[in-house]
């Protein structure tokens, strides 16, 4: 069957037409050729606001329910004997979701189903694919906003604001900006310098399937890692994090309701090593879109290398793997800005953002004042259930995270080089609660200044004021990561020196601002070194990872001469 016939049959199917009508009814003012994305406005959720009332209604709908979440392949649901539960981190006796690990055979079935769906999906015009994801964005922005908010708060222990900036605003931004970026990057066509030659570029999806392996800490990343390849004409197997299952399934259902055809994204909860083994052994693996630990990403890379001779095409690997992010303070910095920015960066969402500040370097003369301001803030910070709108942070994600973070705090308590300035208490009797902890060190090379903790723990090294350049150079090389970093400085000469010193130390760099808070379309995100492949999600270049460009030259006049010019 010709490609044209395949496309015609696909677009004529009743379900497909129904999806298209659904899309157009929700985004009536959307025009693909002229659309310009803008960042999603964020409501305040203030007292007596309609959004707060709606949110608590959604929370009440989910908080006493254990949602059954199947494996979804095409239009089929699967439930295996390997049953798992997602618990509420702040109340771990409560199960918020029941789900099932896919067996190797089911994972292979998901691959086969995706490959079957790929042909028609890849031939679907970009405008139609974008329309589906624009519809999903509109649904999340409006009628589904509180569902993604509530499931993120309950399952991942985010307070109201952290859920808003993630599950609602950032996910909407990813979807809308990617639609604009997809149009813009595919507008390029090569030169055709004469009327007898027509040169063109065709922007195809990659041959095979993509695997999206997504983290717990951002619902938006889960939805983005599977939808970005799909937008560009690919098919994806989405392996969500066990500890973000409910919110991720909510997003998956929204994609389907928005008109995404079955099989384009298959929802495949699975044991990580089993999933990795099956996908990397498939000759049709087109790529892996990953956010998670360095260890896991290295394992995937090694598995791909071991199977390299078996692949139809070289798989593309995208990885974002965390960091040991820094705040470096110069003596000219604004004291309050340093204190506020560092507390927010280090302790929002319990330090479980990839970009969270984990180490600070500060002049000895400034540290007493900054420390006191930080302590004053920390005294006001409340730790508790995200159902309480007054809390600043809640529990860490699970028992593994709790034990890992606690081990670093215990190490600090027993180290002669370290002293705990604030916090240090851990309690997992009801939820996985860790107090915001500040640790002062006399050794800038201590492991607590080098290793990723991924929790509410900040290490501080007060350096001699007149040796800032020496310690800036040290800070730039202390960690094997290079994700985010910030400098706080007013002096213009020092500013330029620090910018140059930290040139290779962060993929996202901030001047007089905290190291967290990248916004889609404003600060495309990604890091170097062991932090990842720095493909800059949230920017236009990211989408080229999911495109296989075909250049076509058509000559309109017959070829007659075989003699080369130099032969005459």
Are 154 and 59 in contact by the 8 Å Cβ rule? The answer is yes
Structure tokens at 432: 């996985």
Q: Return d(Cα 515, Cα 358) in angstroms, integer.
A: 10
Are 344 and 516 in contact by the 8 Å Cβ rule? The answer is yes
Q: Return d(Cα 341, Cα 327) in angstroms, integer.
A: 9
Structure tokens at 309: 């001779």
Of 375, 367, 356, residue with least CA distance to 329 = 367
Structure tokens at 515: 């190291």
Are 210 and 546 in contact by the 8 Å Cβ rule? The answer is yes
Radius of gyration of the chain (CA): 25
Helices (H), 417-478: 468-478
Reduced to 3 states (helix: H, G, I; strand: E, B; else coil), residue 443 is coil
Of 362, 386, 313, residue with least CA distance to 547 = 313
Q: Which residue has tokens 């706080």?
A: 488
Of 476, 480, 444, residue with least CA distance to 459 = 444
> CA distances (Å), 315 to each of 222, 226, 230, in order?
20, 16, 16
Of 79, 246, 63, residue with least CA distance to 156 = 246
Helix 272-281 × helix 294-306 angle, to 10°? 30
SS3 content of the chain, % helix, strand, coil (to 5): 45, 20, 35
Burial call 510-529: b when 16+ CB within 10 Å, e when fewer? beeebbbbbebbebbbbbbb
Of 173, 225, 166, 174, residue with least CA distance to 532 = 225
CA 15 from chain centre, in angstroms, equals 31
Instruction: Tell me the pairing of strands 426-427 and 325-329.
Output: unpaired
Query: What DSSP designation does 136 have?
Result: H
Per the annotation, the verdict on 320 as an active-site residue is yes
> Annotated catalytic residue: which of 51, 320, 348, 440?
320
Q: Which residues contact 125 (CB under 8 A, 6 or more apart)?
A: none
C-alpha angle 505-507-512 in degrees, rounded to nearest 5: 80
Cβ neighbours of 33 (radius 10 Å) = 7
Residues with active-site annotation:
320
């Amino acid at each position: 069957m010709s490609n044209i016939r395949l496309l015609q049959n696909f677009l004529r199917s009743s379900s497909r037409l129904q999806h298209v009508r659904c899309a157009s009814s929700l985004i009536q003012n959307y025009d693909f050729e002229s659309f310009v994305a803008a960042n999603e406005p964020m409501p305040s959720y203030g007292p007596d606001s309609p959004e707060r009332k709606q949110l608590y209604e959604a929370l009440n709908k989910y908080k006493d329910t254990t949602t059954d979440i199947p494996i979804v392949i095409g239009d089929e649901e699967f439930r295996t004997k390997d049953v798992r539960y997602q618990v509420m981190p702040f109340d771990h006796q409560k199960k918020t979701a029941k789900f099932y690990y896919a067996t190797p055979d089911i994972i292979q079935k998901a691959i086969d189903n995706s490959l079957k769906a790929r042909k028609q999906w890849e031939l679907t015009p970009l405008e139609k694919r974008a329309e589906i994801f624009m519809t999903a964005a509109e649904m999340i922005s409006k009628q589904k906003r509180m569902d993604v908010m509530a499931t993120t708060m309950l399952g991942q222990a985010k307070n109201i604001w952290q859920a808003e900036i993630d599950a609602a605003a950032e996910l909407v931004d990813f979807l809308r900006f990617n639609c604009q970026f997809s149009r813009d990057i595919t507008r390029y066509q090569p030169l055709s310098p004469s009327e007898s030659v027509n040169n063109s570029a065709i922007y195809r999806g990659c041959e095979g399937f993509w695997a999206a392996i997504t983290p717990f800490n951002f619902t938006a990343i889960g939805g983005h890692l599977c939808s970005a390849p799909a937008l560009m004409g690919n098919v994806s197997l989405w392996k969500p994090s066990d500890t973000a299952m409910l919110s991720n399934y909510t997003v998956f259902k929204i994609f389907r309701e928005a008109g995404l055809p079955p099989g384009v994204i298959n929802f495949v909860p699975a044991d990580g090593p089993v999933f990795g083994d099956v996908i990397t052994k498939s000759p049709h693996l087109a790529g892996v879109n990953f956010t998670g630990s360095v260890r896991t990403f290295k394992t995937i890379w090694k598995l791909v290398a071991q199977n390299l001779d078996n692949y139809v095409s070289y798989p593309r690997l995208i990885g974002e793997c965390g960091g040991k992010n820094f705040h470096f303070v110069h003596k000219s910095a604004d004291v309050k800005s340093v204190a506020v920015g560092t507390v927010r960066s280090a302790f929002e969402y319990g330090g479980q953002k990839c970009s969270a500040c984990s180490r600070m370097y500060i002049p000895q003369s400034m540290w007493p004042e900054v420390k006191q301001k930080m302590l004053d803030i920390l005294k006001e910070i409340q730790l508790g259930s995200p159902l309480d709108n007054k809390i600043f942070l809640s529990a860490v994600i699970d028992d593994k995270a709790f034990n890992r973070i606690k081990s670093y705090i215990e190490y600090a308590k027993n180290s002669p080089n370290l002293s705990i300035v604030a916090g240090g208490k851990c309690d997992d009797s009801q939820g996985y609660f860790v107090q915001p902890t500040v640790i002062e060190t006399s050794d800038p090379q201590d492991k607590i200044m080098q290793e990723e903790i991924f929790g509410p723990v900040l290490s501080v090294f007060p350096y001699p004021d007149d040796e800032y350049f020496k310690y800036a150079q040290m800070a730039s090389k202390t960690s094997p990561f290079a994700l985010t970093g910030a400098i706080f400085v007013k002096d213009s000469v020092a500013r330029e020196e620090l910018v140059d010193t930290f040139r290779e130390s962060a993929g996202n760099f901030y001047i007089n601002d905290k190291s967290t808070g990248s916004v889609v379309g404003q600060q495309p995100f990604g890091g170097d070194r062991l932090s990842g492949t720095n493909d800059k999600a949230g920017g236009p270049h990211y989408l080229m990872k999911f495109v296989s460009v075909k250049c076509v030259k058509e000559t309109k006049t017959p070829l007659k001469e075989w003699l080369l010019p130099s032969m005459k």
